[in-house]
Amino acid sequence: MTALAAFLHDWTDDPHGVKKAFAHLRQVLEHLDGLTVTFVPRPPITYSLRGVPTSGERPVAVMIDVTSLDDQRFLSVCFYADTVTDPEERGDVIPGGLFSQDARCFDLDSDAAEDVGYVETRLREAAAAFAR
């Protein structure tokens, strides 16, 4: 069993659908051209799914971190700030937040379709930015 499969198998408590949101974003990520997917577990702090550009231009295009706060899991989905837009200003700009470069991060604490869809659009933007 891979580390990712083991992580997902052990993730049984999911009252808000965060695991479902993670699975959806993972599926989208796995089907984007120009990116490979890696999983970097750092228990108990974070479990990170990364979209790595095949161009080697930067270490990642996106990091989808599963973190816990007060025994509730949520997703922090981070991109380089110059690779995505945020027309509704839902994300947070984190100076130096992604491999010492400015990041734009979006938190998901449920599988609300509107929120997951908004982040999915950012995923597609980031992949397109690396495909140029």
Cα torsion for 62, 63, 64, 69, to the nearest 10°? -140
pLDDT band at 99 (very low <50, low <70, confident <90, very high): very high
Distance CA 23, CA 69 (A): 20
The arithmetic mean of pLDDT across residues 59-75, rounded, is 92
**Radius of gyration for the chain, computed over Cα atoms and rounded to the nearest angstrom:** 14
How do strand 62-69 and strand 101-108 relate by DSSP bridges? unpaired
Q: Name the helix (H) or strand (E) containing 129.
A: helix 113-131
Residue 92 has pLDDT above 90, yes or no: yes
Query: Binning pLDDT at 50, 70 and 90, where does residue 113 land?
Result: very high
Query: For the chain, what are the domain ranges?
Result: 3-131
Length of the chain: 132
